Amino acid sequence: MKTNTQRGYIVPIIIAIMILLVAGCIFWNWQSKSNQNLSEEQNSILANSVPGQWPTYTDAKYGFTLTFPESWKGYKYFVYSQPYDDSNTYAVYFGLADQGHVFGIDVMTKKDYADCRASELCPAIALLDDGKFVYADDGEGEIGQKVMSLAGADSVKEILASLKTASSSQSLPVITSITPSSGPIGTIVEIKGQNLSGFEGDLNVYFEGQDEREILLTDTFGDYSKTGSSLIKVKVKEPCQEGEKVIGSYSGMPQECNFVKLDPGEYKVYVRPWGKESNKVKFTITS
């Protein structure tokens, strides 16, 4: 009786093992084909690549620089430049020897970037806006997604964070005026200056109270394609209430409101695009 029971357990176990083996073979076959296709794309992109200067790459045309870590010694790069529709496409792709394309930097005008982001197929994500050009990471694209598991990909964020342009020192955000400078809750305020926009053209401004707590207000009035990074227009009012569920700006996922109450008093007003904080101006909430 005991032997039959044991046999009753053994049969399902053998079946389960066989299913796992079959599934493993299917996955291995799919992965092999995927890697083969990836290799073809890599070879195509880097066919004319050349060795890059370590540790710092300096772009010959636009002058932007990237600093590479020790693990990226021997990297190669490929410059892609040609007219496309009504714009000029300029991109530099970087990869390790025999590893293919890991990431790329696209350089485009603000108009071209705005037009690109208006398309659902645009993979470019802005990294830096120097006031004249937008420098974007194309790593969200199809090839970028495939190769992020390759050697050196773990250092990509570190490398992208080192991006600097020839005019980086001139691209600091500056607020030149705030109108009006006081008013009750609900007042619509216009903030003018230079280099006020951030990631994907976002126009955000911080109001900091006497308790040093910040509240983030986002421009829902303006038109970035027309005003660029020179104007932010916001309503001085809490964007959400305590306990309220809101949709994350970038994640698209529901999250709880980070509530900060706006009370009457004097506030410091500033922007912080790309981690660069502007000068501070004052706004007084009267009631």
Do 137 and 185 share a domain, yes or no?
no
Categorize the per-residue pLDDT at 124 as very low, low, confident or very high, splitting at 50, 70 and 90.
confident
Tell me if 5 is assigned to some domain: no
What pLDDT, on the 0 to 100 scale, is given for residue 94? 86
Phi, psi of 126 (to 5 degrees): -60, 135
Tell me if 17 is assigned to some domain: no
Do 152 and 188 share a domain, yes or no?
no
Do 101 and 124 share a domain, yes or no?
yes
Task: Among 169, 187, 209, identify where a domain stops.
Answer: 169
Categorize the per-residue pLDDT at 20 as very low, low, confident or very high, splitting at 50, 70 and 90.
low
Task: Among 116, 146, 169, identify where a domain stops.
Answer: 169
Categorize the per-residue pLDDT at 148 as very low, low, confident or very high, splitting at 50, 70 and 90.
very low
Higher pLDDT, 169 or 189: 189
> Over the chain, what is the mean pLDDT?
76
Higher pLDDT, 264 or 174: 264
Whether 2 shows a pLDDT value over 70: the answer reads no
Do 123 and 217 share a domain, yes or no?
no
**Is pTM, for the whole model, over 0.85?**
no
Whether 26 shows a pLDDT value over 60: the answer reads no
Tell me if 19 is assigned to some domain: no
Instruction: Give strand ranges (E) for the chain.
Output: 50-51, 56-58, 65-67, 76-84, 87-96, 100-109, 125-129, 133-137, 174-179, 182-183, 188-194, 204-208, 214-218, 231-235, 245-247, 254-256, 265-270, 281-285
Do 77 and 129 share a domain, yes or no?
yes
Beta bridge partners of 79: 92
Over residues 85-93, the mean pLDDT reads 71
Do 136 and 93 share a domain, yes or no?
yes
The boundaries of the domain holding residue 243 are: 172-285
Tell me if 31 is assigned to some domain: no
CA atoms within 13 A on the CB side of 228: 15
How far does the chain reach from its first CA to its final CA, in angstroms? 85
Do 165 and 56 share a domain, yes or no?
yes
What pLDDT, on the 0 to 100 scale, is given for residue 30? 39
What pLDDT, on the 0 to 100 scale, is given for residue 24? 57
87 vs 173: CA distance, rounded Å: 27
Whether 33 shows a pLDDT value over 90: the answer reads no
Do the bridges between strand 182-183 and strand 281-285 make them parallel or antiparallel, or are there none, so unpaired?
parallel
Over residues 29-44, the mean pLDDT reads 46
Of 5-19, 71-85, 235-249, the poorest mean pLDDT is in 5-19
Q: How many separate domains does the chain show? A: 2
90 vs 105: CA distance, rounded Å: 8
Tell me if 70 is assigned to some domain: yes
Do 123 and 222 share a domain, yes or no?
no
What pLDDT, on the 0 to 100 scale, is given for residue 145? 42
The token duo for 181 is 């400078």
Do 148 and 225 share a domain, yes or no?
no
Q: Is 82 helix (H, G, I), strand (E, B) or coil?
A: strand
Q: Which amino acid is at 251?
A: S
Count CB-CB contacts under 10 A for residue 83: 8
Closest by CA to 91, choosing from 124, 42, 128, is: 124
Higher pLDDT, 112 or 170: 112
Tell me if 38 is assigned to some domain: no
Task: Among 143, 169, 195, identify where a domain stops.
Answer: 169
192 vs 4: CA distance, rounded Å: 84
Angstrom CA distances, 206 to 149, 200, 209, 241, 247, stand at 37, 18, 10, 17, 19
89 vs 81: CA distance, rounded Å: 6
Do 165 and 183 share a domain, yes or no?
no
What pLDDT, on the 0 to 100 scale, is given for residue 40? 55
Categorize the per-residue pLDDT at 207 as very low, low, confident or very high, splitting at 50, 70 and 90.
very high
Do the bridges between strand 125-129 and strand 100-109 make them parallel or antiparallel, or are there none, so unpaired?
unpaired
Angstrom CA distances, 175 to 54, 160, 186, 205, 252, stand at 38, 27, 21, 11, 30
